[in-house]
């Protein structure tokens, strides 16, 4: 049997990228998938360059050497911060690093579907396009919640609530590409919870040495809403000595602080949807993003939304990769003629 | 059942992928951000080679300039591309309606200075053959070479720009109403109800705009003559009038969107549409003659055409996402009494086709109607943005329009 001719597009590496405020992930059709913290760092001065070399650092390496680095979080607040050259460069560096992690073959063409926070899509889609121009031959850019919905096949009468670090993005799917009216964003998300928790703990334990990175790790490990069966106890230093602190009530208050706005927005969006299909949407609410891992969040939202009628809230299986896998599904399905040249 | 579901999912996926393509295509139209040349992706030897090449070229260029210290390099003529004959090509000819089609040139003899060639062609349906009968002509057509010479002496400026005019009051007219149901879909949906609902949504959207007063000719299911609507616009000192209608194409599943401004009909179909919409105008012959006397209103035509362009672009852009087979017929001229009588820039937008059963079903949904209202809003606001740009250019004159697109 003659070997089928492999076309150029079949040889291309198709990738899905989830460019998040806190974490960014990539999945490729060569089976590889990786994630990094969305942190980019450049050596501050010649001493730092001597120590670290003249290179850009990413993710955990940035955390490790943060005192020697100019650190950028490219998508803080869900958008490329101020649109300066450095901000855009950091996005480009991050994308380049992510692509290198899935190890494309030398000179292999790359077709990328990039999911970005909904706000970034509105504000600086063009800048994101420019940022990836050096690394991909073809590109499509979509909002993160849409990428998640596509990956899960939740294409009709479903609502995705993507609770990230910088923004909580809402998206109603109704069998077509969601329009501007079908999408909303709130800036109360993971970072907001961290700030609340830091404020509450500093107030209760003024002598304890908390900082925002430590607080974030507490939230990721112990975050919960509703009633807790166990106490949350963490270790923090007081005058250099490790002391155990009970942070149960502060954790609950901080995590619950974002939920009323989220429930209200979800209810408002559903109420504006075609009445004929509101029941279906209410029973097909999907939580994605890092904050969806806060224990009890689905139950809390289900109760809050129940005043509109019975509803069902589920959580994506793997929030870390849901956006990237959705992007990859999009990249695989997208017909060649629909790809945009860089 | 399983197969049916799979097929449905496949169709939805295919629609969505097309929508993703359209949206990304739209973002391509945004102005390109100037980006410095990046050699990051190339290996070290390529980067070094490039550096050596650039330095060599710089040395050679310096040498040549020093050899000709009078500043004139033989064989090189510096010509401002703006004034260069070579900078002009046939594709840059301005678009005005074909004189043979009997269409009054929109905007008098002034070429529209607001839209690029491609944009004008798109808005006027250029490239998409008019599906509507013989002799159908959209508001486009390239001026012949002989006629073109005539235009060279005319200033390339619109009157509204010239005098820094602004917009304060917008009148929204929901077509038909009361005893006049307008077109009726096969499912029983009436044009008068849908136009009213879209008009209300548009009103709500525009009402928040700072510095703009929005009024509606009707806010309930009442019979209003065209004369009454015109007088209402005059009484309220309207600066802009938009009349919302739905098209109907008997015995055809086709769906078209088109936007009209006043002028002689471009084709038989436009005449038929005008006849339908002019039904029960309420004008006596003498009054009508008075209206006709006011025809030579260049400002109104210029601005109506611009407004029609912006609205058509947004309506088609929005609806084609949901229905790929929708046809962009573009902006057209036709003798609508309403548009003739209004003393202000005015358009009649046929925002959908109620005769198409799928579109009729969509029109029954509030979300879809809101989409249409959103598209109309964007069209109006992008039209109004020209005044905002004038404000920026002439801050000392001031203007109350601060619309965002």
Mark yes or no for CB contact A175/B12 under 8 Å.
yes
Task: Please tell me the CATH code under which domain A190-256 is placed.
Answer: 3.30.420.40
pLDDT at position A4: 44
Instruction: Kindly state the average pLDDT of the residues B121-150.
Output: 36
pLDDT tens-digit series, residues A90-99? 888 899 999 9
Neighbours of B189 (CB within 10 A): 19
Mean pLDDT estimate for chain A: 86
The partner residues of A19 in beta bridges, in order of sequence, read: A24
Look at the block and give the residue holding tokens 């005043």.
A307
Which residues from A are below 8 Å from B322, CB to CB? 176
pLDDT category at A330 given cuts 50, 70, 90 is very high
pLDDT tens-digit series, residues A77-122? 656 655 556 777 888 889 999 999 999 998 889 999 998 877 666 6
Mark yes or no for CB contact B41/A134 under 8 Å.
yes
pLDDT at position A80: 63
Kindly give, in sequence order, each residue whose CB lies less than 8 Å from that of residue B93, ignoring residues fewer than 6 positions away: B117, B142, B143, B148
Look at the block and give the residue holding tokens 């990039």.
A114
Instruction: Kindly state the average pLDDT of the residues B328-353.
Output: 81
pLDDT at B92 over 50: no
Which residues from B are below 8 Å from A276, CB to CB? 365
pLDDT at position A333: 92
Q: What is the CA radius of gyration of chain B?
A: 26
Q: Transcribe B135-175 into DSSP letters.
A: T---S--BPPHHHHHHHTTS----HHHHHT----EEEEEE-
Q: Which of B214, B220, B165, B213 is nearest to B197 (CA)?
A: B220
Instruction: Kindly state the average pLDDT of the residues A248-269.
Output: 93
Instruction: Kindly state the average pLDDT of the residues B59-74.
Output: 57
pLDDT category at B325 given cuts 50, 70, 90 is confident
Let me know: does B175 contact B218? Beta carbons within 8 Å: no
Could you tell me which CATH class the domain A8-150+321-341 is placed in? alpha beta
pLDDT at B69 over 70: no
Among A320-324, B2-6, B321-325, B385-389, the least confident range? B2-6
Burial of A30 (0-12, 13-18, 19+ CB in 10 A): middle
With an 8 Å Cβ cutoff, is A106 touching chain B?
A: no
| Domain range summary for chain A, segments of one domain joined by + | 8-150+321-341, 190-256
User: Nearest-CA distance from B322 to chain A in Å?
Assistant: 7
Probe site for chain B from A106, A136, A179 (most B CB atoms < 10 A)? A179
Which residue among A127, A140, A276 sits closest to B20, beta carbon to beta carbon?
A140
Let me know: does A330 contact A147? Beta carbons within 8 Å: yes
Mean pLDDT estimate for chain B: 66
Instruction: Kindly state the average pLDDT of the residues A183-202.
Output: 91
Kindly give, in sequence order, each residue whose CB lies less than 8 Å from that of residue B136, ignoring residues fewer than 6 positions away: B130, B266, B267, B268, B269
pLDDT at position B402: 34
Kindly give, in sequence order, each residue whose CB lies less than 8 Å from that of residue B66, ignoring residues fewer than 6 positions away: none
Look at the block and give the residue holding tokens 């975050």.
A223
pLDDT at position A11: 80
pLDDT category at B237 given cuts 50, 70, 90 is confident
Instruction: Kindly state the average pLDDT of the residues A24-34.
Output: 94
Biggest CA–CA distance in chain B, Å, is 87
pLDDT tens-digit series, residues B193-218? 999 999 999 998 888 777 788 999 99
pLDDT at position B357: 86
Cα distance between residue B272 and residue B279, in whole Å: 11
**Helix, strand, coil proportions of chain B in percent (round to 5)?**
45, 10, 40
Instruction: Kindly state the average pLDDT of the residues B273-292.
Output: 60
With an 8 Å Cβ cutoff, is A333 touching chain B?
A: yes
Q: Which of A149, A155, A197 is nearest to A170 (CA)?
A: A149
Q: Which domains does chain B have, with CATH numbers?
A: 93-393 (3.40.630.40)
Token duo for residue B58: 């710089």
Mark yes or no for CB contact A140/B318 under 8 Å.
no
Which residues from A are below 8 Å from B321, CB to CB? 176-177, 179
Q: Examine domains A8-150+321-341 and A190-256 and report if their fold is the same.
A: yes
pLDDT at position B395: 40
What are φ and ψ of residue B190, in 5° steps?
A: -105, 140
Probe site for chain B from A14, A175, A270 (most B CB atoms < 10 A)? A175
Q: Pick B150 or A71 by higher pLDDT.
A: A71
Mark yes or no for CB contact B367/A142 under 8 Å.
no
Cα distance between residue A115 and residue A206, in whole Å: 40
Q: Which helix (H) or strand (E) holds B259?
A: strand B256-262
pLDDT at B6 over 50: yes
Instruction: Kindly state the average pLDDT of the residues B163-175.
Output: 78
| Max mean pLDDT range (B39-53, B84-98, B104-118, B236-250) | B236-250
Q: What is the ipTM of this complex?
A: 0.77
């Amino acid at each position: 049997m003659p070997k089928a001719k492999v076309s150029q597009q079949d040889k291309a590496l198709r990738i899905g990228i989830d460019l998040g405020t806190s974490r960014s992930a990539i999945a490729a059709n060569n089976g590889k998938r990786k994630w990094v913290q969305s942190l980019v760092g450049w050596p501050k001065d010649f001493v730092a360059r001597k120590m670290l070399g003249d290179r850009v650092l990413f993710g955990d390496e940035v955390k490790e050497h943060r005192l020697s680095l100019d650190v950028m979080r490219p998508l803080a607040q869900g958008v490329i911060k101020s649109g300066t050259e450095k901000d855009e460069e950091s996005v480009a560096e991050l994308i380049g690093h992510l692509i290198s992690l899935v190890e494309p073959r030398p000179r292999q063409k790359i077709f990328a579907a990039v999911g970005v926070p909904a706000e970034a899509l509105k504000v600086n889609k063009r800048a994101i396009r420019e940022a990836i121009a050096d690394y991909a031959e073809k590109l499509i850019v979509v909002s993160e919640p849409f990428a998640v919905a596509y990956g899960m096949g939740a294409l009709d009468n479903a609502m995705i609530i993507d609770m990230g670090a910088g923004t909580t993005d809402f998206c109603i799917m109704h069998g077509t590409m969601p329009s501007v009216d079908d999408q909303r964003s709130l800036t109360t998300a993971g970072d907001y919870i961290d700030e609340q928790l830091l404020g509450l703990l500093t107030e209760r334990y003024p002598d304890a040495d908390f900082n925002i990175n430590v607080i974030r790790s507490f939230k990721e490990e112990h975050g919960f809403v509703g009633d807790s069966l166990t106490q949350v106890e963490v270790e923090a230093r007081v005058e250099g000595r490790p002391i155990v602190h009970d942070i149960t009530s502060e954790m609950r208050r901080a995590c619950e602080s974002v939920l009323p706005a989220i429930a209200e927005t979800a209810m408002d969006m559903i109420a504006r949807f075609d009445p004929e299909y509101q029941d279906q949407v209410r029973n097909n609410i999907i939580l994605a993003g890092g904050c969806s891992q806060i224990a009890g969040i689905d139950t809390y939202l289900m109760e809050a939304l129940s005043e509109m009628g019975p509803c069902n809230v589920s959580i994506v299986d793997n929030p870390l990769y849901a956006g990237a896998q959705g992007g990859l599904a999009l990249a695989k399905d997208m017909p060649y003629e629909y790809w945009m040249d860089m | 059942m399983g197969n049916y579901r799979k097929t449905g999912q496949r169709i939805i996926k295919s629609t969505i992928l097309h929508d993703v393509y359209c949206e990304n295509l739209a973002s391509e139209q945004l102005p390109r951000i100037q980006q410095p040349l990046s050699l990051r992706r190339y290996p070290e030897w390529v980067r070094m080679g490039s550096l050596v090449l650039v330095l060599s070229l710089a040395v050679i260029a310096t040498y040549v300039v020093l050899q000709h210290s009078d500043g004139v390099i033989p064989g090189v003529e510096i010509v401002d591309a703006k004034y260069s004959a070579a900078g002009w090509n046939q594709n840059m000819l301005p678009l005005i309606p074909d004189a043979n089609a009997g269409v009054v040139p929109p905007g008098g003899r002034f070429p529209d200075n607001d839209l690029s060639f491609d944009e004008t062609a798109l808005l006027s349906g250029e490239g998409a053959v008019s599906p509507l009968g013989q002799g159908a002509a959209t508001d486009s057509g390239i001026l012949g070479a002989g006629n073109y010479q005539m235009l060279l002496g005319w200033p390339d400026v619109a009157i509204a720009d010239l005098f820094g005019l602004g917009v304060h009051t917008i009148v929204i007219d929901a077509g038909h109403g009361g005893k006049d149901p307008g077109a009726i879909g096969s499912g029983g949906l009436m044009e008068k109800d849908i136009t009213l609902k879209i008009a209300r949504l548009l009103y709500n959207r525009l009402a928040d705009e700072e510095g703009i007063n929005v009024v509606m000719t009707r806010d309930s299911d009442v019979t209003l003559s065209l004369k009454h609507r015109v007088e209402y616009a005059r009484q309220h000192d309207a600066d802009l009038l938009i009349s919302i209608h739905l098209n109907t194409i008997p015995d055809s599943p086709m769906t078209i969107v088109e936007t009209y401004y006043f002028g002689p009909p471009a084709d038989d179909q436009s005449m038929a549409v005008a006849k339908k919409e002019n039904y029960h105008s309420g004008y006596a012959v003498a009054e009508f003659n008075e209206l006709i006397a006011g025809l030579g209103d260049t400002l109104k035509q210029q601005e109506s055409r611009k407004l029609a362009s912006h609205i058509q672009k947004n309506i088609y852009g929005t609806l084609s996402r949901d229905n790929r087979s929708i046809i962009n017929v573009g902006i057209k001229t036709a003798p609508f009494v309403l548009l003739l009588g209004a003393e202000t820039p005015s358009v009649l937008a046929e925002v959908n086709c109620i005769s198409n059963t799928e579109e009729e079903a969509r029109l029954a949904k509030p979300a879809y109607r809101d989409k249409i209202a959103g598209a109309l809003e964007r069209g109006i606001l992008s039209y109004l943005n020209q005044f905002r740009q004038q404000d920026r250019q002439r801050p000392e004159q001031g203007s109350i329009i601060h619309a965002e697109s």
